[in-house]
Structure 1
Amino acid sequence: MTNRKFVFAALAASTALTGAVPAFAQDVQTEQQAAVPGEIIVTARRREEALQDTPVAVTAVNAQMIADKAAVNIGDLMGTAPNLIITNQNSGAAAANLSIRGLTYADVEKSQEPTVGVVVDGVFIGTSTGQFFDFFDIEQIEVLRGPQGTLFGRNTIGGVVNIRRSRPTGNLGVKAEASYGKFNTLATRAVVNLPVLGDVLSSKFFYFHNESDGWYRQGQTGERRGFTNNENFGASFLFDPGSGFDALLTVEKQVQKFDPAVANLTNSSELFCGLIPAEQCGRNGTDDLYTVFGDANVSNYSAPAITFEMNGDLGDISLTSVTGYRESKEGQTQDFDASSTDLYYVFRDQEYDQFSQEVRAAGDVGSSFDYVVGAYYFSSNYELDQWTRLFAFDNTVDPRDYDTNPQHVEGKTRSVAVFGDFNWAFAETLRLSFGGRFTRDKKSLSNAFGGNLIGQGSDTFKKFTPKVGIDWRPNDDMMLYASWSQGYRSGGFSPRAGSAARASQSYGPETVDSYEVGGKFTMGVVQLNLAGFVSKYDALQQNNTLFCATCATQNETITSNVGSATIKGLEADFTARLTPDFVLNGALGILDSKFKDFIVGGISPADGATVIPFDFSGNDLIYNPDMTASLSATYTQPTSFGEMVGNVGYRYIGRYDQQISIGGLSGDLANGPVTVEGNDPRVRTDAQNLVDASLTARFDLAGAEAHLTAYGRNLLDDRGMTHGFTVGGLWSFGTAREPRSYGLTLGVEF
C-alpha cells in the first residue's frame, strides 16, 4: 500500500468510527469563557467566541495537548493542522520557515517580512528570526489559515500562528520540568508564580534552558556537529485593581549560541565540485545529509523584548492596547560551501529592532451587531555587515581580516494601518461578517560594499484589503460559511543585490484573493470541521540567484514580482472524545498549485553573459506538499497512584520543494525564452512518515502534582532534509531534519 493510500485509509477508518469531529480543543474552560462544558474558546477574530461559531478555518491546541504529545517547540505543530509546514532555518537564530496553504517566505533577511505571522501575546514578530518558539508555559495556540491581515499585524497573507502564554495566577505556585534525551539533549524549564501583592499585583517569573550536541557528524573526525544552547528568561506582572481595568507587563530575553552546520549537496554540474574532494561531491539528500565536512561555525544571538497589554471594560465597549518592543543582535559564521576546502565562508553581524502599537475597541450595538475596530503602527530598523572569505583556501584567516570589501545593508520600515471587523446577524440563523484594513508601508534600503554605496532606494506601498463572509447556523450543531478575503504583503528592496541597478530598484507588493467555503459540525462527542478554498496569488515575490561578474561575491539574489499562481485546497480536522479517557485527533490537507507567467531574466547558457528570458511557469511552488495528514490517539488510564496517559501520533508530509531553482533547461538557450523543467531535485524533501509517541505517569510527590514522561520522536527514523539551496551554478547545500530521538521528562507542579 502506498503512503498516500495508507493515510487515506487510516483517516477514513477513524472517521467511520467517529462520525464527525473539530480542531484540537481546550479541555477546561472557565465559566466566563465557556457556555457549555468542553466548549473551545478562541480569539481568532480578536473577540472571545466558541470555535464552532467562528467562520474561520482555525485549529486550536491547548496546554494539556502539548504536554500529552511531549511537544517541544513550534515545529511540532507541523502536520497537526491541515496544510501547515514549519521547519527550522539554521541561517538565523530561532528562525522558522512557515507555510500555510502553500504561502511561504523561506529566508532570514530582516528587510523582508514572513507571509505567515507568528503573534505572541498580541505582538506580531516582524521577521522569521525568533519565530521558532518554545512550548513551555503556553495557554493556547491557534493556527488561522488563509489571509488574516484584517485583524492580525501585517503581511499575514498565508495565515497566523497565534500564541498566548499563561498569565500570572496571583497564587504561590511552581511548575518545573527537566528532560534528558538522545544527542545529549538537556532541557530545564521553570515558572514561578508569587502571591498577589495588595490584592492588585500578581507576578510570574520564568526560565527555560535547552541544549544539544546536534545530530550531525563531522566527516573527518566523527565528532558531533550542530550543537545548540538556548536560554529564555523573564517575568510578567499583572496589575488588576478589579475595576474593569488590567495591565500586563512582560519583560524577557532570549540568548542562543549554536552551530549552523550545513551539508554538501554540490554535484558535478557546479563549479565547486572541481575544487573539493571527490567523496564530498554528488552526495544524496537523505542519509548523507547527516555527515558534514565544513569548518566549525558559531552563532551568537541576544534578543530582549517587552510586551505591555492594557484592557479596559467600559460597559458597552472594551478597549485594548498592546505595545511591543523587540531587538536582536546576531554574530554568525557559516561555511556555506559545506566542504573541507575553504571556498565560501562568511561572518554576518546583524542588528534589528521593532516597535509596534495596536489599539482596539470592541463592543455590541444591540443584540445583532458587534464590532472590532482599531489602529496599528509598526516600525523596524535593520543593519547587516557581511564579510566573505571567497576562494581564500585558508580557513585560519578571520573573514573580517580577509574581506576588505564587506557588504553593509541598512533597512527601515514604517507602517500604519486602520482596520475594522463587523458581524451583523440580520436573520435568526444568518450572519454577515465584513471588514477591511488599510495599510500604508514605507520602506528604504541601502546597500554598500567596502564603504562604497552600490545603491539605495525608498518607496511607499499602500493597499486596502477587504473581507466579507456569510454564515448559516440552522441549529446549534452546524454552521456553514462562505468568505472572500484579500491579503497583502508589502513590496521592498533586495538586500542581497550587488549591482547598482538592482540594489536601488524596488519590487512591488504581492496580493492574494482567497475564496473559501466551509462547515463546522458537532454530533455528540464528535466534531468535524471542513474547508475548501481557492487562492489567487498575484505579483508573487520570488528570489532568483544570478551570476554577477561585477558583484563582489560573483552572484546576487534578487527579489522580483514574477506573475501569478493559483492554489486550490481541501481541509478537514477533527476531535472525537469517544470516552472521557479516549480522544482521537486527525487532520487532512490537500493542495494543488500552479504558476502562471513566471518569467524572469537569466544568464544565457550559450555565452554566460547575455540576459535572456527564463520561464519558470512549470516549476512547483515551494513548501507546497500535495498532502499533509495526521492521526493521533490519547488514552488516559486511572491508577492507584494517579493516572497513566499514552499518546501515539502519525504525521504524513508529502514531498515539497524548498527553492525556486533550475532542474533542467529546454528551448532557445541562446536567445530565449528558455523553459525551466522544474526545480532542482536536490532542493526537494522526500515524503515524510513521522511517528511520535509518549507515555506519562502522573502521580503525587510530597504534595505536588508530578509527572514522568518517556517520549520518542520520529520513531521510524525517517531521514531527509528540511532546507535545500542551490547557488547560481556554483554550489549547493542543505540541512537535515531531526532523526529518531527519545528521552525522559520529569516535572512537578504545586
Structure 2
Amino acid sequence: STAPDATGEAGRLGPAQAAGGDIVVTARRRSESAQAVPIALSVIGGKALAETGTYNVGRLTQLQPSLQFYSTNPRNSAANIRGLGAPFGLTNDGIEQGVGIYVDQVYYSRIASATFDFTDTERIEVLRGPQGTLYGKNTTAGAINIVTRKPSFTPEARVELTGGNYDFFQGKASVSGPLIDDKLAIRLSTSITTRRGTIYNTRLNEYQNSQDNQSFRGQLFWQATPRLDVTLYGDFNHQDPKCCVQYYVRTGSTERPLNRQYAALAAAQGYQVPSTNAFDRVEDLDAVPRAKQKIGGTSLVANLDLGFATVTSVTAWRFWDWVPNSDRDYIGLPVTTVSANTSQQQQESQEVRLASNGKHAIDYVVGAFYFHQNVDTQGRQVQGPAASAYLLNPTSADGRNPAVLNGLTATTPNGLRNTSAALFGKLTWHATDRLQIAPGIRINYDQKTGYYNSVVTTGTGAVLNCSLAAQAVTVVRDQCGVLSPQTYDPRFHNWNVSGDVTVAYLVAPDIHAYATFARSYKSGGINLSGLPLDVNNQPFLSTATVKPEKVNHFELGLKTQFLDRRATLNLAGFWTDIYDYQATVTNGQLGLLRGYLANAEHVRTRGLEADSAFRPTDRLSLYGNGAYTDAKYVRFDGAPCPPELSGGTTVAAGQTPSPAGTPGGFSPASCDISGQVLPGVSKWAFSYGAEYDLPARVAGLDGQVYVGYDGSYRSRFSSNPSASAYTYVDGYALSNFRLGFRSSDRWNVFGWVRNAFGKNYYEVLAIQSGSTGLVVGQPGDPRTYGATISRTF
C-alpha cells in the first residue's frame, strides 16, 4: 500500500527523508499521501529498518527524535512521545500506556507485548499527538502503527542473514504466494535473533544482557468476492535471554545515617564491586537474570466495500506470558535473593469501522471498539542472609542477627480485569478545494477491578502479623518495616467524552498547513504494586485508584516539498497541558522495591519538531530530523523527594528539613517539584544521515555500491521521577555506518558498524531502595559491527 520512492523501495525513511517519494499511509484509517495528512507523522519503510538495524521498538528512537523508549526489562518498558505516554519507573499493571501500539490494526495492551523483533514489516508509522478519534484505545500521546507485508498472488520470497561481533546472528525469511489463483494467498515469515551478552558476571562466570528471540508469523488472505476480503493472522514469539541487569554506577549522599549508606553497609560485610566504572562492563550480581516471554495471538480482519464506504471489522485475541528473575538489590550481596512478578495476560478486542470511499464534500470514519483484558500475576520477593545487616540498623541486635530477615518472603498474587468500550468518529468537510475542517469525537467507558493480597512469612515459615500489638516485639517491627502484608480490592470506572478539530489548508500544490485542538483522556487506573500504610499498618485505600489524565492539546503544522520534490521540510509546533498526570511515587517501606501511582496536578509539554530531507542528485540523499521538547511539572507539590532529600528523620511540626545530602538529617515527608523537568525527556534530540551510491558491476551483477551514515543525538535527561543530581543521564551522540552493494536483481550485501566511535552512555539510571545512595544503571550497547546479506526472489 505504498508507492515506490526514487530508490525503488517503499518509504525508505518516510516522506520527509525519502525526498521525492509519495508515501501512502493509513494513519487516518484510509489510504492517503503522507504529505497531505494533517498529522505530525513519520514513516519508516522496511528497507530502512533492515539497513539501519532497527529491528525492535527500542531502536526506533535513533531514527525518531520525538520518541522515547526506556526499558530495564521487557515488562518494565515505556514508549513515550513528546515526553508523554507512561509514568517513568517500574511498571504498574493497573494503568495503561498513552502511546497506542498497533500491529496490523490490532491494539497491543502492554508495551512489553510489543518488544518482539520486527518481522516482514512493510512500514512503521509514528503518529505524534492525540489520536483517540481515529484509534480504538489510549492514544493520548500518539500511536505507533506497524504494518506488515501482505500475502501476494505473485510468488515471492525474502531471505536476510546477519552476523556480527558478540556472536550476533539474525536470520529472517518470508515466503508468499497463491493457494488458489486470485482467491486465496498465504504469507509465512520467521526470524531468529541471538547475541552473547555485553556484560560479564564475575560471580556466575557468564555474559548477561544477551538476546535470544524467535518469532513466527502467518497470514491467509481470502478474496471472497470482488467486494469482500478477509485476512487471518497468527503469530508466536518466544524470548529467553539472560537479561536484564543494572549495576553499580556511582553513589550520592542521602539523609540516612552514614552507617546506613552504601559505602558503610558494603564495607561492614566486606563487599566490594568488581569495578566502580560501569563501562568496564563487569558485575557480580548473585541472582540469575531471566526475561522469558511468550507472546502471540490471532486476528481476523475483514473489509466489505459497499461502494460509498468500506466496513472494516478487526477481531483479535492475544496473550503475553512473562517469567522473570531480577537482582533488585543490584549488588553481589544476598540482600534480596528473589524479586519476580510472573504474569499471564490475555486480551480480546473487537473493532468495527465505516470509512467513506473516494473524495466527497464530507468524508468520514466512524467506529466502535470493545476491549477486555485479564492479568494474573504471582509476585514473590525473598530476603537473603545479608538483608538484616543491610536493611536494618547494623548496630542493633536485629541488624547483627541474619535470621531476623533471612528467608522473609512476600507472596503476592494480584490481578486485573480491564474492560473498555468506545464510540469514535472523524468527519472531514472539504469546505473548498483548499480548505478542510475535520472535527472528531470519542465517547469512552473504562472499568477496572483488581485484587492484591500480599502474605508475608518469616524464615521459619510463620505468617507475619503486623498489627500494632504484634509490633511491640522489636523483631516483628523490623520485619514489618521491610515487608508488610496487605490486602485490598481496588475498583475504578469512568465515562468520558473527548474530541478534536483540525483545520487544514492547501497553501500551494506542495505546501500543506494545519492547526489542531484536541481534548482527550487517558484512562484512570488502579494501583497493583502495594499501597502506603497508615499507623495501624493498613493500606491507604484512597491511593488505590488513579484518576484519568485530562489532556488539552494545541498543534500547528506545515508540510512542504520544493525543488521538484527533491527537498522536503515538515514543521510542527505543539503545546500540551495534562491535568491529573499519572506519576510514580516512591513507597516509603524500606524493602519494598515497587512504587505506587498518584496524580500530579498539572504537567505541560511544548516544543518544535522538524523533519527534512534533500536529494540534490539521484545518487545522494540527506535527511535531518530534530525535536525541541520542554516538558515540566507545572504543579506537583506532593511528590516523592529525590534521594539527596530522603532517608532522614521525617520532619515534625516546627522542624526544618536539613540541606540535601546531610547524613542523619531531617527529611521532608514529600517535596514540591513544580517547575522541574519530566523524567526521560531530552530537551534536544536529533537524527540525521546521508547515503551516496555509484553504479557498479560486482561478481557479474549490475547495481550500485553505496555508503550510508545514520547519526542521532539526545541531550541529557532526568532518570528519576523527581529530578536528582545523582540520576541525570548525560547527553550522547551515536554514529552508525554501512557500506554495501545492491544489485538490480535484488541482492543486497553490506557491512555495518553501529556506535562506531564506542560512545559510553546509559539507557537508564535508577536508585537502590532504602535511601542507601547507590545509583545503578544499564549501559547502552558498545560498538558493534557485522555484515548483512539479503535476497528477494
2:415 corresponds in structure 1 to 410
Specify whether residues 100 and 601 from structure 1 end up closer, same or farther in structure 2 by C-alpha distance, changes over 3 A only: closer
Supply the AA of the counterpart residue of 2:561.
T
1:591 aligns with 2:629: yes
1:542 aligns with 2:583: yes
2:605 corresponds in structure 1 to 567
Contact preservation (8 Å) 2:122, 2:149: yes
Specify whether residues 554 and 209 from structure 1 end up closer, same or farther in structure 2 by C-alpha distance, changes over 3 A only: closer
**Displacement of 1:85:** 1.8
Within the candidate set 98, 111, 127, 2:110 is matched to 127
Q: Deviations over 1:704-741 (max 9, x none)?
A: 73222211111121122112222351454321211111
1:580 aligns with 2:618: yes
Supply the AA of the counterpart residue of 1:307.
S
Supply the AA of the counterpart residue of 2:246.
V
**Displacement of 1:530:** 0.5
Within the candidate set 265, 288, 294, 1:275 is matched to 265
1:636 corresponds in structure 2 to 693
**Displacement of 1:111:** 2.6
What does 1:83-102 correspond to in 2, within 5 Å? 83-87=66-70, 89-92=71-74, 96-102=77-83
Contact preservation (8 Å) 1:497, 1:503: no
Q: Deviations over 1:77-136 (max 9, x none)?
A: 21423422224x23335x642221111324433332122121111111111212234234
What does 1:581-620 correspond to in 2, within 5 Å? 581-600=619-638, 607-608=649-650, 612-620=669-677
Specify whether residues 290 and 110 from structure 1 end up closer, same or farther in structure 2 by C-alpha distance, changes over 3 A only: farther
1:20 corresponds in structure 2 to none
**Displacement of 1:658:** 2.5
Q: Deviations over 1:432-463 (max 9, x none)?
A: 01102111100112111129761112110221
1:19 corresponds in structure 2 to none
Which runs of 5 or more structure 1 residues have no equivalent in the other structure? 1-23, 395-400, 662-678
Look up the SS of the partner of 1:280 in the other structure. Answer: coil
**Displacement of 1:637:** 2.1
Within the candidate set 712, 715, 740, 2:783 is matched to 740
1:346 aligns with 2:387: no
Contact preservation (8 Å) 2:605, 2:630: yes
Supply the AA of the counterpart residue of 1:321.
S
Instruction: Give the stretch that moved more between structures: 554-563 or 567-576.
Output: 554-563
Specify whether residues 304 and 133 from structure 1 end up closer, same or farther in structure 2 by C-alpha distance, changes over 3 A only: closer
2: CA distance between counterparts of 1:369 and 1:52? Answer: 20
1:54 corresponds in structure 2 to 37
**Displacement of 1:608:** 4.1
Q: Deviations over 1:169-205 (max 9, x none)?
A: 1233221111111211111111121333253111111
1:672 corresponds in structure 2 to none
**Displacement of 1:75:** 2.4
Specify whether residues 596 and 486 from structure 1 end up closer, same or farther in structure 2 by C-alpha distance, changes over 3 A only: same
1: CA distance between counterparts of 2:58 and 2:705? Answer: 26
Contact preservation (8 Å) 1:68, 1:646: no
2: CA distance between counterparts of 1:173 and 1:461? Answer: 49
2: CA distance between counterparts of 1:340 and 1:555? Answer: 17
2:25 corresponds in structure 1 to 42
2: CA distance between counterparts of 1:365 and 1:190? Answer: 36
1: CA distance between counterparts of 2:358 and 2:160? Answer: 47
Within the candidate set 289, 301, 316, 1:297 is matched to 289
What does 1:649-664 correspond to in 2, within 5 Å? 649-661=710-722
Look up the SS of the partner of 2:587 in the other structure. Answer: strand
1:621 aligns with 2:693: no
2:549 corresponds in structure 1 to 510
1: CA distance between counterparts of 2:294 and 2:204? Answer: 31
Contact preservation (8 Å) 2:490, 2:527: no
Specify whether residues 290 and 529 from structure 1 end up closer, same or farther in structure 2 by C-alpha distance, changes over 3 A only: farther
1:522 corresponds in structure 2 to 561
Contact preservation (8 Å) 2:719, 2:728: yes
Query: Could you state the TM-score of these two structures normalised by the residue count of structure 1?
Result: 0.87
Look up the SS of the partner of 2:110 in the other structure. Answer: coil
2: CA distance between counterparts of 1:692 and 1:354? Answer: 38
**Displacement of 1:331:** 1.4
Look up the SS of the partner of 2:314 in the other structure. Answer: strand
**Displacement of 1:554:** 4.4
Q: Deviations over 1:306-363 (max 9, x none)?
A: 1211111110011111122111211111111121101123132111111111110011
Instruction: Give the stretch that moved more between structures: 346-355 or 363-372.
Output: 363-372
Specify whether residues 482 and 221 from structure 1 end up closer, same or farther in structure 2 by C-alpha distance, changes over 3 A only: same
Contact preservation (8 Å) 1:691, 1:716: yes
1: CA distance between counterparts of 2:119 and 2:752? Answer: 16
Instruction: Give the stretch that moved more between structures: 603-612 or 639-648.
Output: 603-612
**Displacement of 1:266:** 6.3
Within the candidate set 395, 402, 421, 2:426 is matched to 421
1:183 aligns with 2:222: no
How many residues align? The count is 693
What does 1:278-427 correspond to in 2, within 5 Å? 279-280=272-273, 283=276, 287=279, 291-344=283-336, 345-363=338-356, 367-393=360-386, 402=407, 404-427=409-432
Specify whether residues 602 and 682 from structure 1 end up closer, same or farther in structure 2 by C-alpha distance, changes over 3 A only: closer
Specify whether residues 151 and 728 from structure 1 end up closer, same or farther in structure 2 by C-alpha distance, changes over 3 A only: farther
2: CA distance between counterparts of 1:201 and 1:361? Answer: 25
Look up the SS of the partner of 1:129 in the other structure. Answer: helix
Specify whether residues 509 and 146 from structure 1 end up closer, same or farther in structure 2 by C-alpha distance, changes over 3 A only: same
1: CA distance between counterparts of 2:275 and 2:441? Answer: 51
Identical positions, percent: 25
1:257 corresponds in structure 2 to 240
Q: Deviations over 1:576-628 (max 9, x none)?
A: 22222321111010012221220226698653487844212243201211111
Q: Deviations over 1:676-705 (max 9, x none)?
A: xxx2234322111010111222247xxx73
Specify whether residues 391 and 54 from structure 1 end up closer, same or farther in structure 2 by C-alpha distance, changes over 3 A only: same
Q: Which has the larger radius of gyration?
A: 2
Query: Could you state the TM-score of these two structures normalised by the residue count of structure 2?
Result: 0.82
2: CA distance between counterparts of 1:225 and 1:305? Answer: 29
Instruction: Give the stretch that moved more between structures: 73-82 or 174-183.
Output: 73-82
1:457 corresponds in structure 2 to 490
**Displacement of 1:238:** 0.6
